[in-house]
Amino acid sequence: MFVFDPYSPQVDADPFPFYKTLRDEHPCYFSESAKTWILSRYEDIANACSDWKTYTSSKGNLMDELPNRAGGTLGTTDPPRHDQMRACIQHAFSRRSIDGLSGPIAASATAAMDDVLEKKSFDFVTEVSTRVTIDVLFTLLSLPRENERMVRDNAVLAVQTDPVTRRKEPEHVAAFQWLQDYAKAILEERRRNPGDDLLSHFQAAEVEGQRLTDREVLLTTVTLILAGIESLSGFMTMFALNLSDHPQARAQLVANPALTADAVEESLRFNTSAQRFRRCLTRDVELHGQLMKAGDFVCLAYGSGNRDERRFANPDVYDISRKPRGHLGFGSGVHTCIGTQIGRLATRILFETMLKRMPAYERVDRELKWMPSTTFRSPLRLELRAV
């Protein structure tokens, strides 16, 4: 009997054969282990994303939600409050030019490459993707550098589940609490001494004469840190993996770096880090002969929708000239990622820099150890060497 268990190491290692069976034979499937319906076809996922009144985010959007997040931050609220919150952030983002990050990203990528090029092999996760991501995020939010290792370690831990029990354990909740305490102290300091930085503008922003509550500002700041670190570094790592497994595509990028932006889009479609998010039903819905009841949780398997042959021709082929319009790598609808511009810019600059310095590389280990998470998918280590 077919079983899709989002907690199983087999799904961590290679979800795609499972996704195919789900799409073809069980397009509306109830996972006993996750107590969640799984939608795997592109069209069903896109429809759910645009019908936020039925598929609410207000009960949380992570597959294994952290306590106290639901209803308080961008990814866990519905319109109209969600849109007001999003407008506040967008206002703060627009006060700082995202393009102004290009220089710091290039400097960070160059420094990371300087350090790894001398080595026989290196871990792309700690030495490149996480390092560059931390530089980007700390620059974006103007965070002091002294606590960066703690911020990184706690952000990475908070989005994981225990590798054995596959549940959120007290250590994951404590990591999330640490991030809240950290963000609270930063926000209090910015309130006392506001500057021309994103968090100061965000706290002060008003939409229709209304400010956000302290809880909303706090949880959204933590979300920016969590989403910024895990989604971005995880995606960069998956991109490096895709290019090591597809040397021809990598050679095309070396010959023509202008194709890097297209390759980023194809990687977001083909094999992204942000695989599955969750919604909750506000009413009964019948789909593909199954009755999902009000109050049931529903998983939107973006990683599966991106491989749906009903939407993309030859979906299992990694084709950097594809231009996959409408892919779900950043989600869809009102909750489409707010960091799309930063994610695209940082990844493109990192790989343009890297491939100039290291045009050919291979992975050292064939077997990878995957992060235990039901939402995100990326290897814990990716040992690479230049060839």
Among 240, 213, 205, residue whose Cα is nearest residue 124: 240
Check residue 60 for interaction with ligand HEM (CB under 6 A).
Answer: no
Q: Could you tell me whether strands 297-301 and 36-39 are parallel, antiparallel, or unpaired per DSSP bridges? A: parallel
CB of 302 to ligand HEM, least distance (A): 6
According to DSSP, the residues that pair with 30 across neighbouring strands are: 37
CB of 54 to ligand HEM, least distance (A): 15
CB of 320 to ligand HEM, least distance (A): 16
CB of 142 to ligand HEM, least distance (A): 13
Among 60, 75, 305, 372, binds ligand HEM (CB under 6 A): 75
Alpha carbon distance 304, 22 (integer Å)? 9
Q: Which of residues 297-326 bind ligand HEM (CB under 6 A)?
A: 302
Check residue 183 for interaction with ligand HEM (CB under 6 A).
Answer: no
According to DSSP, the residues that pair with 363 across neighbouring strands are: 384
Q: Which is nearer to ligand HEM, 324 or 329 (CB)?
A: 329
CB of 289 to ligand HEM, least distance (A): 26
Among 113, 285, 337, 354, binds ligand HEM (CB under 6 A): 337
Q: Could you tell me whether strands 276-281 and 122-123 are parallel, antiparallel, or unpaired per DSSP bridges? A: unpaired
Q: What are phi and psi of 63, to 5 degrees?
A: -55, -45
Give me the helices (H) in 256-386, please.
260-270, 302-305, 340-357
- CA separation (Å) from 73 to 61, 83, 307? 10, 11, 30
CB 11 within 8 A of CB 2: no
Stretch that binds ligand HEM, among 64-72, 168-176, 187-195, 272-280 (CB under 6 A): 272-280
Alpha carbon distance 219, 222 (integer Å)? 5
The site string for ligand HEM over 201-240 (x = CB under 6 A, - otherwise) reads ----------------------xx--xx--xx--x-----
CB of 223 to ligand HEM, least distance (A): 5
CB of 87 to ligand HEM, least distance (A): 11
Tokens of 312: 């993309």
Check residue 339 for interaction with ligand HEM (CB under 6 A).
Answer: yes
- Kindly give, in sequence order, each residue whose CB lies less than 8 Å from that of residue 174, ignoring residues fewer than 6 positions away: none
Q: What secondary structure letter does DSSP report for 211? A: P
Among 202, 330, 361, 376, binds ligand HEM (CB under 6 A): 330
Among 69, 152, 327, 335, binds ligand HEM (CB under 6 A): 335
- Kindly give, in sequence order, each residue whose CB lies less than 8 Å from that of residue 57, ignoring residues fewer than 6 positions away: 75, 76, 77, 78, 82, 279, 280, 335
Q: Which residues bind ligand HEM (CB under 6 A)?
A: 61, 74-75, 86, 223-224, 227-228, 231-232, 235, 272-274, 277, 302, 329-331, 335, 337-339, 342-343
